[in-house]
Amino acid sequence: MRRVPHLTGLEELDIAGKGVALNHNVNSWKYNRQFISRALLTPSFSAYAVIWSQRLVEEMMEFWKDASNDDGCFETDLVEWAHRFTTDSITHFTTGKKIHAVEALHVELLASKNKIPKKCSTNNLTNATRLFKSIRTLVIGIYFFIIVPSWMRNYLPFLSNTNKNYLKNRDWLFNKFDEIIKQRRKEIEHTPRDQPLRLDMLTSMITINTDRSLRKFDEEHCKPLTDEEIRGTLWETWVAGMDTTANLFTFIVYYLAHYPDILKRLREELDQFFEKLGDRQLDYKSLSKLVYTEAILKEVSRILTPAPYTARNSTAEDVLEGCVWPEETQYIINLHGINHSKELWDKPEKFNPDRWLDDTKSEKLMPYVVFGGGRRVCPGRKLTIIELKCLIAIIYHKLDIELVDEKASLKTRFILLRSFYDLQVRIKSRKID
């Protein structure tokens, strides 16, 4: 099943038939998808993801500390930090190198207040913010190219400039991706054959069907991938993994600020958890003990489903509800609706993490569709849970996060994804009751 049909806008952007999420070619989707699944869904990746998520959270918290006023408080827009955090994590998890988007934000915020960071950076931050912003612009450009017909984009004077700017941005960004791919190719070439290679997604895409490959795919796909093919899967994974997880994190912070009893129970779980953990490293197995943390995460994602809709485009005729639906029918699946159905959930509008702790009901039978379902289910679901558990556990164990204006209404927007466009928070060391 495809998600979207063949769209000329995607062809003009030169992204049709590539990658996964927007790929209308089922055969090439299947081939590309296995790189993501194999890279992100193995137990060794989960173990690695816990260690690195922890490092990234601690690094971000150090920046917050550095940016605090004399009274130990730091007021900021959490939305920006969340998106920078997931940018660093997804770039690291797919290529072995992060782009330092969080650090770049820290340096920029301090500079705007005529301050300098306590520690001098050893990283190249020149392109971090530009790359981060360029990815966002690419996403908006994709909507623009899908929604606005070609003749309007190309011939209406006020739209043709926008059209050109989106293409210019795409060229700049894709060039950056190509540099990343080429650099890794070089590193692999210079790695002696008896030395094992890093097992990230980029490396497995570069080495497939070469003499450095650990496996072969099938007869049909027996050639190495070109830079262009690799880029298609890489940028889509970055885009899919950035905003979704970042948005969900900010939703969780918002809910915890509005439900003090739930926050108190969360803290009880975290205090016991970290006391038991002692000096040991956080690992995947220990993370599974955070059942209330996970219940909060699931409940917030059910209530404010980050990706409220998904789609399927049929490749053959179907019979559904007694009607015949021709090939190429576009089905829109209302994930938010399923997550709020009165038939499926007890009091669906109530924010109730406890519904996930009912031992009498198997969780597998819960109609939880936040990550979609079937063969095209989100391949980043496990990573999302790891990242968010690390973020919530480490931050809420050590810090207090208050909303600057508790009475402010929810500032959400919805363009395919649901997001906050601003969440002003006050961050300070945790006050133990």
Interface residues toward ligand HEM, by CB under 6 A: 3, 20-21, 33, 36, 40, 90, 236-237, 240-241, 244-245, 248, 306-307, 310, 335, 370-374, 376-380, 383-384
What's the rounded Cα separation, in Å, for the pair 85 and 57? 8
To the nearest whole angstrom, how small is the minimum distance from the Cβ of residue 138 to ligand HEM? Answer: 15
Core vs surface per residue 353-382: b (16+ CB within 10 A) or e: bebbeeeeeeeeeeebbbbbeeebebbbeb
Residue with tokens 């000329």: 8
The span from the CA of 234 to the CA of 232, in Å, is 6
Residue whose CB is less far from ligand HEM, 90 or 401: 90
Coil, strand or helix: which one is 14? coil
Considering the complex, what minimum distance in angstroms separates the CB of residue 365 from ligand HEM?
Answer: 18
Nearest one of 237, 227, 232, 170 to 12, comparing CA atoms = 170
Report the residue number, 118 or 375, with the smaller CB distance to ligand HEM. Answer: 375
Query: Of the two residues 116 and 320, which places its CB atom closer to ligand HEM in the complex?
Result: 320
DSSP 8-state assignment for residue 224:
P
Least distance in angstroms from the C-beta of 340 to ligand HEM: 15
- Chain-centroid distance, C-alpha 247: 9
Element (H, E) at 274: helix 260-277
Number of Cβ within 10 Å of residue 62's Cβ equals: 15
Shortest distance, CB of residue 230 to ligand HEM, whole angstroms?
14
Instruction: Give the shortest CB-338-to-ligand HEM separation in angstroms.
Output: 11
Round to whole Å and give the CA distance between 360 and 355: 11
**Residue 378 labelled as part of a binding site:** yes
Cα 384 from Cα 390, distance rounded (Å): 10
Closest CA to 410 of 396, 397, 398, 424: 424
- Tell me how far, at minimum, the Cβ of 133 lies from ligand HEM, in Å: 20
- Residue 226: C-alpha distances to residues 157, 215, 336 (Å): 36, 18, 38
How far apart are the C-alpha atoms of 341 and 353, rounded to whole Å? 17
Nearer to ligand HEM, 119 or 375 (CB): 375
The set of residues, in sequence order, having a beta carbon less than 8 Å from that of 182 and lying 6+ positions away, is: 227
Q: Residue 111 or residue 377: which is nearer to ligand HEM going by CB?
A: 377
Among 75, 122, 125, 119, which residue's Cα sits nearest to residue 105?
Answer: 125
Shortest distance in whole angstroms from residue 130 CB to ligand HEM: 22
Task: Give the residue with the Cβ less far from ligand HEM, 121 or 330.
Answer: 330
Of residues 90 and 208, the one with the C-beta less far from ligand HEM? 90
On whether the CB atoms of residues 181 and 206 are closer than 8 A, the answer is yes
Binding-site residues from annotation for heme: 378
Binding-site residues from annotation: 378
